[in-house]
Amino acid sequence: MYRQGTLVRRWVPVRTSGGVATVCDLMTGTTITPSGDGAFIAGPDFADFDVYVVDQAWDGEPRHAPKPFVAATNRTTGVALEPGRDYTVTYTNNAAEGWARAIVSGAAGSAYAGQGTSADFRVIRALPEGYERLEYVEGDGASALKTDYVPTPAADTLTLDFKMRDVQGALGVFCARRAPVNNSWSLCWDGGGARFRFDSNNCQSNWTFGTVFNGDMRHRVKLVNKTATVDCASHMTADTAPATAGGALMFLAYYSDPTTRVPTSCSAVRIYGCQVVRSGALLHDWVPVRTPEGVVTLYDRVDGTTPEHAGTGHLVAGPSWAHEGPIVIPPGTMIIFR
């Protein structure tokens, strides 16, 4: 806790000499006496070691659920710990895409017995053979990508990483609606006011963010029910979000005519990735790719599909993605170290 920029309280979990689990203020050396009829449950002893694990690619086969190597070092000396002798590792949620956890425990009989910590890592479905991962895909102002995903705003959380390339006029970042007005779950850019506009249900009664944005910056939007958060600015619409959006999600446009399927207000937006979580489970995970046929698009690593192209333009490919995770080596590959 800070007061006018000065640290005044710093509570940490402890177990007292009497065996009571509570918190201690390191600034004053005092502990808080628990109140009520219950008692706090103590976690494992604070670990004297740090752990590190990297994200993992996965082919979707349950028996191939990733169990990555977890590196551990003594927090004080920096000396590497030995797996098995000093610590053991178990895994949770590693047989599904999304976030998994490596639970690290000090080995019985070792100097770290009774201690424990954990490290989270992402399980990412590997791209099919021949697909090239790109840093982003960019619209040209005359094209869009239509998915099969129809949002359920009350249950879904949508997160999009993007950057505006054309900041003039009213341009669609994405939309999910059928009629021009109702059952909308959409985000667009108002170039005249340099603001984003989030529409939930009746788009005629929803207005722009109060924050003025730099359109030529990379942004991250998160939609939950009738609230949109762009970077750190949130905007809650007046309407109740529709139980189901009026149409499937379309990137790079603000509306699609239900008869002609022609998108309008297309935008030159760079899309770096988009995820949808429903009731805690990863439902969609779109990443920019170039297919073996040379088509620039998004690939859903959850269901293995690509969106339908709409409009008269084409998508522009970003550079190849700089892979920062583990390198997946096919079984039987000979590795020569020099």
Over the stretch 174-219, which tens digit does the pLDDT of each residue have?
A: 888 765 556 677 777 766 556 677 777 665 545 555 555 565 677 8
Question: Do 135 and 288 meet the contact criterion of CB atoms below 8 Å apart?
Answer: yes
Model pLDDT, residue 297: 96
Model pLDDT, residue 324: 45
Residue 338 in this model has a pLDDT that exceeds 70: no
For residues 223 and 255, what is the distance between their CA atoms, to the nearest angstrom? Answer: 18
In-domain check, residue 28: yes
Q: Tens of pLDDT along 3-38?
A: 866 778 888 788 888 888 888 888 888 888 878 888
Mean pLDDT of 120-144: 87
242 and 108 within one domain: no
28 and 12 within one domain: yes
For residues 231 and 225, what is the distance between their CA atoms, to the nearest angstrom? Answer: 17
Residue 48 in this model has a pLDDT that exceeds 70: yes
Residue 242 in this model has a pLDDT that exceeds 50: yes
142 and 61 within one domain: no
Least confident range from 4-18, 115-129, 222-236: namely 222-236
Name residues whose C-beta falls within 8 Å of residue 316's C-beta, 6 or more positions apart in sequence.
137, 138, 139, 140, 296
DSSP conformation class of 241: P
Of the candidates 207, 139, 147, 201, the residue with the CA atom closest to the CA atom of residue 173 = 139
Name residues whose C-beta falls within 8 Å of residue 333's C-beta, 6 or more positions apart in sequence.
none
Last residue of a domain, one of 125, 143, 178: 125
Quick one: 280 exposed, middle or buried, by C-beta within 10 A (0-12, 13-18, 19+)?
exposed
262 and 222 within one domain: yes
Of the candidates 292, 333, 297, 332, the residue with the CA atom closest to the CA atom of residue 314 = 297
Model pLDDT, residue 325: 46
The tokens for 141 are 């102002």
Q: Tens of pLDDT along 63-105?
A: 888 898 888 888 888 788 899 999 999 999 998 877 899 999 9
In-domain check, residue 323: no
244 and 192 within one domain: yes
Residue 328 in this model has a pLDDT that exceeds 70: no
Residue 305 in this model has a pLDDT that exceeds 60: yes
Q: Residue 282 is part of which domain span?
A: 132-317
In-domain check, residue 337: no
For residues 165 and 187, what is the distance between their CA atoms, to the nearest angstrom? Answer: 16
162 and 268 within one domain: yes
CA 282 from centroid of its chain's CA atoms: 9
Model pLDDT, residue 329: 52
Model pLDDT, residue 244: 78
pLDDT grade for 315, boundaries at 50, 70 and 90: very high
Model pLDDT, residue 155: 87
Considering its fold, how many domains does the chain have in total?
A: 3
241 and 106 within one domain: no
Residue 203 phi, psi (nearest 5): -70, -10
Mean pLDDT of 306-311: 91
- Whose tokens are 């599904």? That residue is 96
For residues 277 and 158, what is the distance between their CA atoms, to the nearest angstrom? Answer: 7
Domain CATH number, residue 69: 2.60.40
Model pLDDT, residue 299: 95
For residues 68 and 60, what is the distance between their CA atoms, to the nearest angstrom? Answer: 15
233 and 119 within one domain: no
Least confident range from 77-81, 104-108, 295-299: namely 77-81
296 and 205 within one domain: yes
Last residue of a domain, one of 125, 151, 174: 125
Mean pLDDT of the chain: 79
